[in-house]
């Protein structure tokens, strides 16, 4: 997406994340984007002013109070959520942990009430939130609980590739046990539904990685493909879904295979994401499928050492906001796979 104004009637809410990290820095860059509107940043307005001064960024902050928010260049709409104690760039403070949660609460509430185009999240520091006494396992789990859905699916996307995951943050020795018929069916159902509903792909083409080397090589290198994975995939094929049987992951990502695919389904985190990040790190987007609203996120952490230095890149946030607005408007002109 370039400089045209996106046709969405409701604002996209962007959480600024951990206040001591680079979230406030990269959110300020949204004021420089032509036409990427309407966007409202959830943050402490004074914190953004202070960070803008530190970075030498000229920005006009406009307090959002439910009005239309088509901003001019150099303007940024902000829904003010106050921090508890003053913020020092690069220095975590557990006293501000609930500030992060209040951003997420507001974003979830607006999305679930149908008052937003979607949610984009800047990075948070899970350790300091838990240190404060607030149990927090991550953005994905937070929104899943708020939405009351049984399962969500993590998908990362660049302009050339989408990779969804059957399992996410599990120790490798637990992955095989986690790949059950029920789980695989739930993930595929969510993947198909959101490729159709949120990416507007009527008949998505999905390639599936096998779990084992060479997709098990006929059972000699593991039999999960024979016992679990391929029977599920055959069921979908018989019902008209354009999905492959389990393919060897070391050859699936060949450009010849990918040229007509809309998404790849990988069995575990480090099977699919290294390939995706090698081609698009810093410009990849984390998308949560299975929620009743659009949610995208940056593909990086809080980068405390870069906060307030002017060296933080906002490229992933820009792609995340662009993609969320494209999905909200029904405009999917960029090819991803």
334 pLDDT tier (thresholds 50, 70, 90): very low
Say whether both 77 and 179 belong to one domain: no
- β-strand partners of 264: 163, 207
Q: Answer for the pair 1, 322: CB distance below 8 angstroms, yes or no.
A: yes
130 labeled binding residue: no
| Same domain? 198 vs 139 | no
Q: How many domains does the chain have?
A: 2
Q: What is the pLDDT of residue 277?
A: 86
Higher pLDDT, 245 or 34: 245
- In which domain, by residue range, is 175 found? 151-290
Check the annotation: does 300 bind a ligand.
Answer: no
Does residue 286 have a known ligand-binding role? yes
Same domain for 144 and 9: yes
CATH of the domain at 96: 3.40.718.10
How is the beta sheet containing 205-209 ordered, strand by strand?
A: 60-63, 75-80, 39-43, 12-15, 118-121, 295-297, 285-289, 153-157, 162-165, 263-266, 205-209, 242-247
C-alpha–C-alpha distance, residues 171 and 178, integer Å: 11
Q: Is position 121 annotated in a ligand binding site?
A: no
Residue 335 has pLDDT above 50, yes or no: no
State the pTM of this model.
Answer: 0.90
How long, in residues, is the chain?
337
Contact 43, 78 (CB under 8 A): yes
Same domain, 44 and 77: yes
Q: Parallel, antiparallel, or unpaired: how do β-strands 242-247 and 285-289 relate?
A: unpaired
The answer to whether the CB of 182 falls within 8 A of the CB of 235 is no
pLDDT of 87 higher than 80: yes
- The verdict on 191 and 88 lying in the same domain is no
Question: What local confidence, expressed as pLDDT, does residue 2 receive?
Answer: 36
Q: What percentage of the chain carries pLDDT values higher than 90?
A: 83
Q: What is the pLDDT of residues 204-251, one digit of tens each?
A: 999 999 999 999 999 999 999 999 999 999 999 999 999 999 999 999
- State whether 5 and 111 are in the same domain: yes
C-alpha 212/C-alpha 321 separation (Å) is 36
257 is in an annotated binding site: no
């Amino acid at each position: 997406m370039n400089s045209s104004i996106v046709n969405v009637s409701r604002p996209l809410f962007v959480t600024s994340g951990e206040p001591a990290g680079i979230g406030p820095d990269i959110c300020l860059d949204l004021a420089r984007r032509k036409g990427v509107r309407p966007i409202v940043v959830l943050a402490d307005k004074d914190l953004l002013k202070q960070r803008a001064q530190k970075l030498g960024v000229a920005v006009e902050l406009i307090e959002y109070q439910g009005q239309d928010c088509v901003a001019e260049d150099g303007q940024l709409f902000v829904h003010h959520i106050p921090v508890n104690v003053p913020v020092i760039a690069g220095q975590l403070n557990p006293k501000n942990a609930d500030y992060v949660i209040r951003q997420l609460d507001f974003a979830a509430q607006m999305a679930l009430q149908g008052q937003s185009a979607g949610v984009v999240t800047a990075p948070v520091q899970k350790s300091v939130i838990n240190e404060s006494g607030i149990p927090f396992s991550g953005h994905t789990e937070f929104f899943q609980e708020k939405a009351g859905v049984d399962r969500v699916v993590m998908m990362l996307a660049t302009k050339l590739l989408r990779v969804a995951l059957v399992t996410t943050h599990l120790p490798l020795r637990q992955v095989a046990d986690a790949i059950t018929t029920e789980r695989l069916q739930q993930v595929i159902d969510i993947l198909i539904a959101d490729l159709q509903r949120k990416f507007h792909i009527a008949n998505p083409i999905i390639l599936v990685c096998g779990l084992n080397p060479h997709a098990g090589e006929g059972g000699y290198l593991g039999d999960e493909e024979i016992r679990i994975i391929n029977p599920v995939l055959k069921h979908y094929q018989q019902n008209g879904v354009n999905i492959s049987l389990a393919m060897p992951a070391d050859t699936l990502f060949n450009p010849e295979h990918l040229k007509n695919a809309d998404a790849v389904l990988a069995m575990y985190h480090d099977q699919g994401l290294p390939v995706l990040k090698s081609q698009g790190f810093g410009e990849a987007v984390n998308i949560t499928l299975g929620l009743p609203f659009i949610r995208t996120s940056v593909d990086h952490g809080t980068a405390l050492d870069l906060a307030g230095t002017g060296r933080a890149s906002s490229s992933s946030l820009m792609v995340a906001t662009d993609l969320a607005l494209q999905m909200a408007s029904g405009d999917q002109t960029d090819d991803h796979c």
